[in-house]
Structure 1
Amino acid sequence: MFYWVLYWMVRWAFSLYFRIEVKGVENVPRKGPLLILVNHITLLDPPMAAILMPRPVYFMAKVELFRYPIFGWLIQHLHAFPVRRGHPDRQAIRTSLRILEQEKALMIFPEGHRSETGALQEARAGAVYLAQKTGAPCIPIGISGQYGFRKTIRYSIGEVFTIPRDMERHEAQKLIMRKIAEQIPGNQVEHFSRKKRIKR
């Protein structure tokens, strides 16, 4: 219950500050395990994307974010759980697998870090591992536009797809980013940035 109270409060506050455009909500399965794959451009992507979903969503957030009193409290109560970057975080992986096994929705950002320029980066192997290990269906979300007072930020939700268990890892990584790219207007679907990720 508290999740939904906070959900609507945050959604209302964000809608007052930003101009939010969302399409493709009908593509989101209301039940069953689901892996939501989103590109990453700002700190606000996780809570914003979460409150646009028609079902409760869980997501990873870097452990440092939980040190900010208000923001940390907010994302924790929107079902965020910590992940330690820089090395494989087995606890975060176990938590992710448990969420999917319980037929809940898990949102992850395959690039691992925010993009400095907005250009898509390579997907990391973690998203592929979770999809192939659990067989969970995936949906891509492409974020475009600009965060700012009364500026327009767009969320485009694509159709459900799956990653075959026998697909080679690098091909699966490219598939993920291609699906996300297809949701971003003007993006070059077959190409994305291979520049070093920016840690923030």
Structure 2
Amino acid sequence: MMIYGFFYWLVRILMSLYFRIEVSGLEHVPKRGSVLILVNHITFLDPPMAAILMPRPVYFMAKAELFSVPVFGWLIRRLHAFPVHRGKADRKAIRTSLQLLARDQALMIFPEGHRSHQGPLQEARAGAVYLAQKTGCPCLPIGISGQYGFRKTIRYSIGELFTIPPEMERHDAQKMIMEKIAEQIEAPAHQESLPKKV
């Protein structure tokens, strides 16, 4: 936890100096209890950027190849990342996710699976639906918009919690997830700057 806390503030300070960061909807983030945080995917910076917005520690999946990189793999494990093998049903990653949610942790996932590079949102993967329906935990949609670049503005809009009924058909649930995220990307929300204490 000490390593997580140190890098949380380090990344927070560095990112706020390099980017113009605006965030809205922090009041929707539950302070405790399990929550599935669903975020659209633009660049490789999304996981650390979205994580530093949260007023509580979060866990997230990262592609398995990253964990074999010397030092970096060791570091991201201590920053609450765990590996997922993309392109197939990774039972171990799913099991880890279920265990975290059962322990009332916050789990951040990117339902699209791959980066959309500011293009149209892709369809949500089945894994996001499975976790939401299996656990019944609330889902928190976050929409990222704007541009990553020196002193450019990147916006994070956090929506209201929602749940996916266990009886909902999978395709409808996938559509629901991306609609909730899309609403946040399109919402002209009141913005707060990142340096404000959350």
**Same fold by TM (over 0.5)?**
yes
Distance 1:134 1:186, change over 3 A: closer
Instruction: Give the aligned partner of residue 123 of structure 2.
Output: 122
Decide whether the 8 Å contact of 1:47 with 1:75 is kept in 2: no
Distance 1:148 1:69, change over 3 A: farther
Decide whether the 8 Å contact of 1:42 with 1:114 is kept in 2: yes
Instruction: For 1:33-182, list aligned pairs within 5 A.
Output: 33-69=34-70, 71-182=72-183
Measured against aligned partners, the alpha-carbon deviations of 1:49-99 in whole angstroms (never above 9, x if no partner) come to 011101010000111223444654543332111101111111100000000
Distance 1:70 1:146, change over 3 A: farther
Q: Which amino acid aligns with 1:98?
A: Q
Decide whether the 8 Å contact of 1:47 with 1:78 is kept in 2: no
C-alpha distance in 1, partners of 2:28/2:187? 22
Instruction: Give the aligned partner of residue 191 of structure 1.
Output: none
C-alpha distance in 2, partners of 1:87/1:148? 33
Secondary structure of 1:142's aligned partner: strand
Q: Which amino acid aligns with 2:95?
A: R
Q: Which amino acid aligns with 2:173?
A: A
Decide whether the 8 Å contact of 2:35 with 2:105 is kept in 1: yes
Q: Which amino acid aligns with 2:19?
A: F
C-alpha distance in 1, partners of 2:22/2:70? 29
Report deviation, 1:174. Answer: 0.5
Secondary structure of 1:182's aligned partner: helix
After alignment, is 162-171 or 77-86 more displaced?
77-86
Instruction: Give the aligned partner of residue 33 of structure 2.
Output: 32
Aligned length, in residue pairs: 187
C-alpha distance in 1, partners of 2:53/2:62? 17
Gap regions ≥5 residues in structure 2 = 189-198
Q: Which amino acid aligns with 1:136?
A: C
Report deviation, 1:119. Answer: 1.6
C-alpha distance in 2, partners of 1:74/1:143? 25
Report the TM-score when normalising by structure 2: 0.90
Decide whether the 8 Å contact of 2:118 with 2:145 is kept in 1: no
Instruction: Give the aligned partner of residue 183 of structure 1.
Output: 184
Decide whether the 8 Å contact of 2:141 with 2:184 is kept in 1: yes
Report the TM-score when normalising by structure 1: 0.89
Higher relative contact order (CA 8 A, sep 6+): 2
Distance 1:73 1:13, change over 3 A: farther
% identity of equivalent residues: 75
Instruction: Give the aligned partner of residue 195 of structure 1.
Output: none
1:22 aligns with 2:8: no
